[in-house]
Amino acid sequence: MVLKIFISSVRNEFEEERMYLKQKLMEDSNLNKYIEIFLFETDVESTSQAPPEIYINEVRTSDIYIGIIGSTYGNLTDKGISATELEYNEYSKLKSYYYFYVKNLEEREERTLEFLHRIQNEATYTTFDNKEELFYEVKRSLLSYINSKLSSSEFDLSIIDNSSINNVDINVYDNYFNILTDDALLSLKQYRNKEEILTLIKAGSILNNNFHLTNAGALFFSNDIEKFGIEHEIKMVRFQGEDRLTIIDYQESHAPIPILLDEVEKFFRRNTRHGVIVKDWGRVAIPEYPIDAIKEAIVNAIAHRDYTIVGDTITFYIYSNRIEIISPGRSLVPIEDLGNINPVHRNKALCNIFRYTKYMEHVGTGILRMKESMKNEGLSEPEFHNFTNNFRVTFYGRKNTEQLPLKLTNNDKIINLNELNLKDRQITALKMMLNNNYIFTTKKYIDKFKVSKSTAARDLTELVDK
C-alpha cells in the first residue's frame, strides 16, 4: 500500500515548511514505505501544460490532501479563488481524507479568514507554531490514517503481490522441519515442493501459477521482511537499575520469527543471573527468572501482536528487579479473563504456522503456563496490563535467597555434590554460605566444626577450588 500525498498551501509563504515537511516525511522509516508526496516545486518539470492543469490532475489522483493555511490567501485563479482553495474543492469532490494545519498568527487577510471559516464548518484543523510542530502533527495524522487502512483487512492472510518463492530464506525453511512436531507435515517434505508446503500451512498462496507469500509467511520465512513494509522488529534493552536512565546492553532484531526467538533467548541469558543454593546433596543453580515463562511471553507477544499498528515495536526490557514485555495491540480478552476462557487469536494464519511446531504448546495456553512456571520457581505471578494500543506483561525477579523454588524444574541446573568428594562438614558449610549468606573465616570454621587450623584452611581452599 502506497498513498499519494498532496501538499497544498501558498507556496511563497510556506516555501521552507513545504520542503522541510516533504524531506522529514520521506526520511521517516515508519512512513516512507507507505507514502509518496507531490510537491509542485520539486515534482513538476517544464511542460506545455499550464500549471493549473497539472496540480488539478495531481490532486484528483491523490489519496490524502494536506492543506496549510497562514496569513496570505494567495493569487486568484480564473475561478476567482486561490490555488489552495481550488485544490481543496477538486479533491473534496472525490474524497474526504483531507487534513488542515493552521499557523498561529495574529493577522490574516480577509479572504484567508473566509476560507478558514469555511474549513471550520466542513473539516477539522490543527494549529502549529513552527515547521517542527507542523511535521509532528502531519505525521500523527498520516500514521492514524495508515493504521485504519491496514486494520480494515485480515492482516496475516493478506497476499504480498510483489513476493515470490525467491523471498523465502532457505535456511529458515529447512530449520522449520527441525522444530516441527507434526509427523504428517514432516513426512511431506520428500513429496511436496516448498510452494505446496508453504501454501498448506497458510504461509503463502499460488495464484495464476505464481507463488506469493502471505504476511504471516513473510514474518516466519522471508529473507527480507522489511522490503514488504511489515512492522515486526523486537527491541531488547538491559537497564542498569529499576528505571530507564542507564542502558548497559541493547539489541534490535528484524529477523524471521524462528531466528528472532533464538536472539531474544540469547539476550535474556546474557543479561540475567543465576543464584546458587545447596539442596539435599546437590548444588542448584537457580535462575533469576524461569526461561520457560519468558519464552511463553515472547511467543505470545509475537503471535498476538497487532501488526497493523504503524510506528511501534515489541519491547523486551530487563531491569534490575523485573522484566517487561510490551506488544503493540490490546489483548482481545479482558485482563480478568486471561487464562480462564478460550483464547482469541488476532493472527490466525500466524498461529497456524506455529501450530505445527514445538511452539504449539505456547500458543493458546501461554497465560496459564506463565503463571505455573513462575509459581513453581517460588516467584509471584506475572502481572498483565492493557493500555490504549498495547499489552504488557511484567515478571518480577527474586528479592532474596529465601524466595526459592517450590520444586526443582527444568530451569534449575543441579550439580551432585557427592561427585565432588566433599566431606559432610564442607557440604554443611556450603549450605550455610549459599543459603544463609554466612561468611566463613578460618577461625569461624575451626569454632564451628572443631578442626585444626590446617584442616580448616584445607577445607575452605577445596571449597573455593571446586
| 339 or 272, higher pLDDT | 272
CB-CB neighbours of 399 under 10 Å = 10
Nearest alpha carbon to residue 66 among 7, 116, 14, 26: 7
pLDDT tens digit string along 74-101? 999 889 999 999 999 998 888 778 899 9
Provide the pLDDT confidence category of residue 48 given band limits of 50, 70 and 90.
Answer: very low
Nine-digit cell string for 278? 545447596
5-32 pLDDT, tens digit per residue, is 999 999 899 999 999 999 999 998 878 8
Mean pLDDT is highest, among 253-257, 280-284, 426-430, for: 253-257
Tell me how far the alpha carbon of residue 238 is from its chain's centroid: 16
- For residue 395, the cross-strand partners are 323
Residue 116 burial (10 A CB sphere; 0-12, 13-18, 19+): middle
What mean pLDDT value characterizes the chain? 83
Residue 66 has a pLDDT of 94
Beta bridge partners of 391: 327, 386
Cα–Cα distance for residue pair 195/206, rounded to 1 Å: 7
In which band, very low, low, confident or very high, does the pLDDT at 232 lie, cut at 50, 70 and 90? confident
In 3D space, the residue among 337, 342, 386, 350 whose CA is nearest the CA of residue 220 turns out to be 350
What torsion, rounded to 10 degrees, do the Cα atoms 193, 194, 195, 197 define? 90
Q: How far is CA 224 from CA 47, 309, 332, 354, 376, in A?
A: 40, 20, 30, 20, 40
Q: pTM of the full predicted structure? A: 0.59
Which cell goes with 420?
A: 565432588
Are 178 and 356 a contacting pair, CB within 8 Å?
no
User: With bands split at pLDDT 50, 70 and 90, how would you rate the model's confidence at 419?
Assistant: low
Q: Please, which residues have CB within 8 angstroms of residue 299's CB and are 6 or more apart in sequence?
A: 261, 354, 359, 362, 363, 366
